[in-house]
Amino acid sequence: MSLPVLPTYYYLDHFKEMLSFIESTYASVLDNEHHAFIQQFRHLTADEQCLFVRMTNRRGNVFGVSQLRYPEIGDVPTAIEGLRGKAFLSDLTKGHYVEWLSTLKKDSLVLIGREAGREDVKASWKKSKLIDFLVEHIPFDDALNHGQGHTFIVRTNTASLDFLLYLYFGKTAEDLKSFALRDLGIVRTNDAAQFKARFEDPTEARACFYYAQLLDRLAVTVASVFEMAVDALASGPLDGGDYARSLRDRAALAIGRFFEKQDQPQRAIECYRVVNAPECNERTVRLLYAFGQKDEAKALLECMIDDPGSDDEHHFAADFYARKFGGHRTGACTELLRAGRELIIDEIHRGEPEAGVAGVLRREQFEVYFAENLLWHSLFGLLFWDEVFESGQLHSGFDWVPHCLKDRSFARIFEHQIAAKLEAIREHKALPLILKAVAAHWGKPNGIFSWHAIDIEAVKSLLTFGNADAIAGILGLMTRDFRSMRDGFPDLMLVRNEQVSFAEVKAQGDAVRRNQLTRLRQLQSAGFEASIIRADYRFDTEQIYVVVDIETTGGWGASDRITEIGAVKVKGHEIIDKWHSLINPQRSIPASITQLTGITNEMVRDAPVFAEVADSLVAFMEDGIFVAHNVNFDYGFIAQEFARLDRRFRFPKFCTCAGMRRYYPGHRSYSLGRICSIYEISLDQHHRALCDAVAAAKLLNLINRRREQMTIGNAALSRGRLAAMAAGAGGTSSVRC
């Protein structure tokens, strides 16, 4: 599909539209300088306006003149000179040294160094190192001569423009391409009927803009940029409100981490101490302790414990203090992990332990929902949809999350509405509100949750069986500080005997992150049971495997279709059930395929189409592992059929071909026919789905017996090592983890 052609003056028209919107919406924030810029722009010629807008639409402020060629501009050189004469453009100066070098390719940087007589410059260096080297060793004027700097120009008068763009988009890195992406149908925009100013206080707006620009500059990871950033951080505004403070905290953390990587810990500590942010305080404590300043570390920890900036900060400070100054040998995250329940899951679930744990828990009669962050985000978004999206809180068509969720003012602005809805939660009257929001707004884009991933049944179960006070408590925390609770929620929600609990799944070697620890403790404090489940990978005799084989009209999943599916269910080395169906592929079967499989067009003419058997196949799968010989072929075709129905097909996979290669090596061929012949497995109707599935199931049993033997052997070896260690310690185990 070809994209529509944008009108000749597309970018200019939208720029003018944006200026008018900003003038009317942000009147209380704009000052004389901003109004003067708007008037100066309006007095430019059409070509000058077009060129300036095109340059605005590109990253940075330094441009090569040869790159400025646009069809709507009749005379680019004249437009350049006009903009230069009206102070919208200028020549390169020393203040633009780093930015100019950043626009050049690596080979150009190397050439500048060598033409300036620095033979020690290395082409193998990273670009950031090359820039640092040139700035330190080569004067700006010399680099300008060797790098054809006279062919570059600089967009000036940018402070007012960048501020206006920030007001509109809420980001310093945005430009007018967003309009083009919207009108080309690539990016969706919200359909809010009215918009609210992102800022109403000019002091807050300027402070947020200041630190947003500082963070944007830190994307160029060269030393000179970070040296200047230290001064910018120290001299920046202090009275811009919560959101500006959070941006300042992020900048301090980024600058400090840079100096840590440069092995300058004291410089990093100086940066961290400019602010009072939980993450910066944590880094300060760790550095102070690591470099022997333990009394200072202890004093800071005590302050963090007495007056924490967040739950995360309190958990870190209390845990670190207990381990370093209180005699505890292990941290809270480690203790929580060790205290968790251990479940044996089949090793085939490596990489997806949540699915393996879910299968085991369902065998224990739990209802299991994959919850993580989506459950709580979707519940929050649906319950407070009107307040977040329908109350005029969005700021432009490109915004998906209102500023009040970023600056923690949401709870204050909607205090009464929030109280009423949380009371509905406590009185078990919130489900109709949720379902009404789903019906009214289904599919509308938003910045809180994804519709295609939402699990309404999980939401209904939580509201029906969950502790109502606990649910209201967690949602209340989210209304007060949504940003800090955007992640870390447990993987699974479990329901049994009309009781809701939560579980975070950890595989061998996984650590508990602090945000996960915080979320678990918040859930526990609210009144939920919330814990860790540790996955122990072994051969699981109770695991169900579904061995599948398909026949198709050809080998191309995007265009060919399935003609037959055969599946057998295996548990404990035994086939316990079978499933089979011919499938109408809704197209002709090639003669060569009929010759191979024996399946004719007449045989499938009255067979069900895939959509008619999809539910039956999924039900047969249960919590099984999808197994096939060359599994990606069969799995890919079936997943494609489900995709045509706008449904997901997602199960753990295991390949008997790869399994036989691993556990029974040495054969020249591992094709199904050849390997079955070697191990005397019957293939009476080879290339018919059920026959091949049964044969592959017998291969799976061979593999699983070998896997089971290895699991038993590994367990015996581990017991022997532990016994030897205990004996070496005089009969008392001294294993440290």
In DSSP notation, 336-355 reads HHHHSEEEEEEGGGTT-HHH
- The answer to whether residues 579 and 443 belong to one domain is no
In a domain, 233, yes or no: yes
In a domain, 123, yes or no: no
- The answer to whether residues 512 and 443 belong to one domain is yes
**CATH code of the domain in which 326 resides:** 1.25.40
Q: What is the pTM of this model?
A: 0.77
Cβ count near 377 (within 10 Å): 23
Beta bridge partners of residue 574, listed in sequence order: 571
- The answer to whether residues 290 and 368 belong to one domain is no
In a domain, 157, yes or no: yes
Give the domain-ending residue among 337, 356, 376: 337
Q: At what angle do helices 610-621 and 631-644 cross, to 10 degrees?
A: 120
In a domain, 125, yes or no: no
Q: In whole angstroms, what is the distance from residue 64 CA to residue 104 CA?
A: 10
Cβ count near 119 (within 10 Å): 8
- The answer to whether residues 47 and 155 belong to one domain is yes
Give the domain-ending residue among 497, 518, 538: 538
Beta bridge partners of residue 570, listed in sequence order: 545, 575
- The answer to whether residues 563 and 530 belong to one domain is no
In a domain, 523, yes or no: yes
* Residue 714, pLDDT score: 63
- The answer to whether residues 585 and 509 belong to one domain is no
> What is the chain's Cα-based Rg?
32
* Residue 398, pLDDT score: 82
- The answer to whether residues 230 and 271 belong to one domain is yes
Mean pLDDT by 10 residues, the chain (737 residues): 72 91 94 95 95 89 92 93 95 93 94 93 93 94 93 90 92 69 66 81 95 92 92 94 94 97 96 96 96 95 92 90 83 81 92 93 96 96 94 85 91 96 97 96 91 93 97 97 94 97 93 90 96 93 95 89 97 95 96 95 96 97 95 96 93 95 96 96 93 97 92 61 53 33
Alpha helices in 345-485 (DSSP H): 353-363, 372-383, 385-389, 403-406, 410-413, 415-426, 431-441, 456-465, 468-480
* Residue 733, pLDDT score: 34
Class of residue 384 by CB neighbours under 10 A (exposed 0-12, middle 13-18, buried 19+) = buried
**CATH code of the domain in which 613 resides:** 3.30.420.10
Q: Smallest Cα–Cα separation from 471: which of 523, 415, 405, 410? A: 523
Beta bridge partners of residue 502, listed in sequence order: 493, 530
* Structural domain for 630, as ranges: 544-709
- The answer to whether residues 164 and 308 belong to one domain is no
With a CB cutoff of 8 Å and minimum separation 6, the contacts of 468 are 425, 426, 427, 428
Domains contained in the chain, number: 4
In a domain, 4, yes or no: no
Q: In whole angstroms, what is the distance from residue 230 CA to residue 256 CA?
A: 9
Q: At what angle do helices 127-137 and 106-115 cross, to 10 degrees?
A: 30
- The answer to whether residues 368 and 410 belong to one domain is yes
Q: At what angle do helices 278-290 and 311-325 cross, to 10 degrees?
A: 20
Give me the residue label for tokens 């949809």. Answer: 385
Instruction: Give the strand pairing for 89-90 and 152-155.
Output: antiparallel
In our burial notation (b when 16+ CB lie closer than 10 A, e otherwise), range 432-452 reads: ebbeebbeebeeeebebbeee
- The answer to whether residues 294 and 398 belong to one domain is no
- The answer to whether residues 677 and 635 belong to one domain is yes
* Residue 734, pLDDT score: 31
* Residue 731, pLDDT score: 45
Cβ contact 689:564 at 8 Å: yes
The rounded Cα 590 to chain-centroid distance in angstroms is 44
Q: At what angle do helices 223-234 and 127-137 cross, to 10 degrees?
A: 80
Distances in whole angstroms, Cα of residue 309 to Cα of each of 73, 199, 255, 278, 316: 54, 25, 20, 6, 11
Cβ count near 387 (within 10 Å): 19
Give the domain-ending residue among 308, 337, 366: 337
Give the alpha-carbon dihedral of 328, 329, 332, 333, to 10 degrees: 170
In a domain, 714, yes or no: no
- The answer to whether residues 269 and 310 belong to one domain is yes
Q: Smallest Cα–Cα separation from 549: which of 657, 681, 435? A: 657
In a domain, 20, yes or no: yes
Cβ contact 155:56 at 8 Å: yes
Q: In whole angstroms, what is the distance from residue 42 CA to residue 12 CA?
A: 11
End-to-end Cα separation, the chain, in angstroms = 59
With a CB cutoff of 8 Å and minimum separation 6, the contacts of 415 are none
